[in-house]
Structures are given as structure tokens and as C-alpha cells.
């Protein structure tokens, strides 16, 4: 299955290295020319199980050079999704499927502007990776990848894609309806990510420290209430809270992806995480005060580090997003 991966960040490199090692015809595509040059010269430097190996991969900046693929996996940050749309057409043949494994909720809807919905797959992955440098990643937590059609129903291509990932050492399963797992992961992300990003802690204390655990639990309960209002049943909210705590424990040593973004003073995925819960909640009349507060705090943090000039004394906090 000829595969193109858009976005050679931590997850793109992790998946690209596994697929290449398994003999899949895979190309990593990234707009960062230095990243691509490093990948072409050395491959992905993968830290895994106490070993470091360099895995040769094809890498390009220009999607047109790759030509049509059978499967395109989108792994850019959720807020960068719109920027990949102009590069998609050369990758799309008549049967190409596009799979988003991005965090949050909303990236698939952006992709659906450029990809026919019946050729769009949506998924979540519990694989974890930390970017250590250009083209260099550490494989963190392992877990299953679930994928299914944007418009729920049985999908044989999703089964083939899941089999390919599983064969490459990334256990995956096709599901008829990907939206419950997407909402479950969203609940985890809106609980763990902003709490860790705002406080500088790793994931572990979200499970271990009462105030952090209670704040995360409240954010997850709100996400479950909005999901239910949208017709997605995530089961008993307290089981979901237990799941969030278990994920924080299982990834105790990790800094969440949003924590890593904030550490690098880079834009975060907050609009697609707490922002998505707030907007969907508003549309369904479900109050989401905790997610709204976390959303506002992260946006304030981003504005703070994106505003290079000192804030004038009379600004009264009126810093405008650019
Ligand atoms: O975004 C992340 O960091 C991850 O999805 C998770 C599960 C919170 C672990 O760090």
C-alpha cells in the first residue's frame, strides 16, 4: 500500500520509521526543508526499547514529487490542517484514502473540504512519541490505533490499512464508527493537556495530585456530557474519569504534547481540544465552564509568548490575536 505521511513531527516520524522498516513504500512529506534534508541524509533516528537506530525513509517537501498514494496519513498539528489542503491534490488518485490520526476534534471536517467524505478515514492512536530533534524521536507509550470511516459504516480499506499498520509493529484495528474513540481521546486530551501545559508538570501528577486530578476529571466529565448531547455515549462518566487517570499514570514520565508545545512557545492544539468541547457544548446547550476556563488560559498563554513587544501600561489586557 503506497503511503504518504504529511507532517514529519514526532508521530509522523514514528509511523514513517515503522512502515519503512516493514518494507512499505512510504514517503514523509514536510514543509520544513531542513527536517527533510536530515531525513534524506540519515533517516529517522528512533529511540526505542533502550536502543537507537537510524531508519532510512523517503522524504520530500513537495507532495507533487510523491505522486498519488493509496493512503495519505495526516499527522500535522490540528491547527495546521488547513495549510495541507493545497498540497493534497497531487497525492490523490481516484481510490486514495486520507486518514487523520491528529489530536482533537475538527481536523477531519477541515480535510473534508478537500477530500470526498467517503474517502476520508478518522482515527486515534495511543502510540506516544517525543521529538528529540530534527527527524529524531523517542517511542514513548505504546497502544492501539483505531480507524474507521468519516461517515460510519463497514470499510474494507480501513481493515487493510489497520492490517498494514499492525504488520509494521503498530497494532491497529478498524472500527465501523470512529467517533466514540475520537471523543474518548478528546476527553483525555482536554483533561491532561491543558492542566500539564499550564502548570509545567508531567502527566503523572495529573493522576497523583488531588487538585490536578480533580480539575482534569471535571474537564473530562464536561466532554462526556457534550459527547452524550451529540449522540456519542462514552458510558459512565466516572469510568471515563478513571480512564483519564489511568492514561496519566501510564504516561507518567511524558510531558503532554500541549506541554511540549508550550515549552517551545509554539501554537497549541487548544482550539481543537477544549475549544471544540466549548463550541460543541454551546451548540447543544451543555455548559462547559471548566473547558472554557482552560481554553481561555491557554489562549492567554499563547498570546503572551506570541506578543513580542512589551504590553503598554494602558492596554488593560487588550492584546489582540494576530
Ligand atoms: O497529547 C498527548 O500528549 C497524548 O495524547 C496524551 C495521551 C495526553 C499523553 O501525553
pLDDT digits (tens, 9 = 90+) for 248-300: 998 888 889 999 899 989 999 999 999 999 999 999 999 999 999 999 999 99
Question: What residues does CATH 3.40.50.720 cover in the chain?
Answer: 3-176
Task: Read off the C-alpha cell for 93.
Answer: 488518485
Closest CA to 58 of 24, 86, 90, 31: 24
Q: From 251, 253, 255, give the residue whose CB has the most ligand 1 atoms within 8 Å, as the site to mutate.
A: 251
Residue 320: what pLDDT?
Answer: 37
Q: 288: Cβ below 6 Å to ligand 1? A: no
203, 243, 250, 259, best to mutate for ligand 1 pocket (most atoms within 8 Å of CB): 203
DSSP letters along 219-286, please? HHHHHHHHHHHTT-----HHHHHHHHHHHHHHTTTPPPHHHHHHHTT---SGGGTHHHHHHHHHHHT-
The CATH number of 180-305, from 1.20.1050.10, 3.90.226.10, 2.30.30.30, 1.10.1040.10, is: 1.10.1040.10
Of 72, 55, 59, 47, nearest to 21 by C-alpha is 55
Please tell me if the CB atom of residue 103 comes closer than 6 angstroms to any atom of ligand 1. yes
Half-sphere exposure for 271 (CA within 13 Å, toward CB): 9
Q: Is the CB of 127 under 6 A from ligand 1?
A: no
> What is the CATH number that goes with domain 3-176?
3.40.50.720
What angle in degrees, to the nearest 10, is found between the helix axes of 10-21 and 156-167? 80
Output Rg (C-alpha) for the chain, integer angstroms: 19
Q: CATH 1.10.1040.10 region(s) of the chain?
A: 180-305
CA of 243 to the centre of ligand 1 (A): 13
Q: What is the pLDDT of residue 292?
A: 98
Backbone dihedral region of 232: left (phi > 0), alpha (psi from -120 to 50 degrees) or beta? beta
Query: What is the pTM assigned to this prediction?
Result: 0.91
Ligand 1 lined by 254 (C-beta under 6 Å): yes
24 Cβ inside 6 Å of ligand 1: no
The percent of residues in the chain predicted with pLDDT above 90, rounded, is 89
Which residues are part of the catalytic machinery?
A: 185
| Predicted pLDDT of residue 67 | 95
Instruction: Give 206 Cα–ligand 1 centroid separation in angstroms.
Output: 12
Q: Which of 295, 192, 171 is nearest to 243 (CA)?
A: 192
Which segments in the chain show pLDDT lower than 50? 315-322
Amino acid at each position: 500500500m503506497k503511503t504518504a505521511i504529511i507532517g514529519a513531527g514526532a508521530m509522523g516520524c514514528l509511523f514513517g520509521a515503522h512502515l519503512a522498516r516493514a518494507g512499505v513504500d512510504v514517503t514523509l512529506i514536510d514543509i520544513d526543508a531542513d527536517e527533510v534534508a536530515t531525513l534524506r541524509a540519515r533517516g529517522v533516528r528512533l529511540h526505542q526499547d533502550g536502543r537507537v537506530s537510524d531508519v532510512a525513509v523517503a522524504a520530500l517537501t513537495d507532495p507533487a514529487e510523491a505522486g498519488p498514494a493509496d493512503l495519505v496519513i495526516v499527522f500535522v498539528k490540528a491547527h495546521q490542517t488547513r495549510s495541507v489542503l493545497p498540497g493534497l491534490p497531487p497525492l490523490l488518485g481516484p481510490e486514495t484514502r486520507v486518514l487523520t490520526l491528529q489530536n482533537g476534534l475538527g481536523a477531519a471536517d477541515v480535510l473534508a473540504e478537500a477530500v470526498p467524505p467517503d474517502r476520508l478515514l478518522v482515527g486515534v492512536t495511543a502510540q506516544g512519541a517525543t521529538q528529540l530533534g530534527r527527524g529524531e524521536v523517542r517511542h514513548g507509550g505504546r497502544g492501539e490505533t483505531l480507524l474507521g470511516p468519516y461517515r460510519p459504516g463497514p470499510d474494507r480499506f480501513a481493515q487493510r490499512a489497520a492490517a498494514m499498520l499492525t504488520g509494521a509493529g503498530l497494532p491497529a484495528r478498524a472500527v465501523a464508527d470512529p467517533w466514540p474513540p475520537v471523543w474518548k481521546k478528546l476527553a483525555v486530551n482536554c483533561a491532561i493537556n491543558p492542566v500539564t501545559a499550564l502548570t509545567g508538570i508531567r502527566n503523572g501528577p495529573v493522576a497523583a495530585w488531588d487538585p490536578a486530578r480533580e480539575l482534569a476529571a471535571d474537564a473530562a466529565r464536561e466532554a462526556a456530557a457534550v459527547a452524550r448531547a451529540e449522540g456519542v455515549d462514552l458510558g459512565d462518566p466516572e469510568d471515563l474519569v478513571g480512564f483519564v487517570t489511568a492514561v496519566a499514570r501510564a504516561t507518567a514520565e511524558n510531558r503532554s504534547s500541549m506541554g511540549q508545545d508550550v515549552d517551545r512557545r509554539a501554537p497549541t492544539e487548544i482550539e481543537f481540544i477544549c475549544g471544540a468541547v466549548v463550541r460543541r457544548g454551546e451548540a447543544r446547550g451543555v455548559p462547559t465552564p471548566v473547558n472554557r476556563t482552560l481554553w481561555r488560559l491557554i489562549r492567554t498563554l499563547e498570546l503572551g509568548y506570541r506578543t513580542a513587544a512589551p504590553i503598554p501600561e494602558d492596554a488593560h489586557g487588550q492584546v489582540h490575536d494576530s
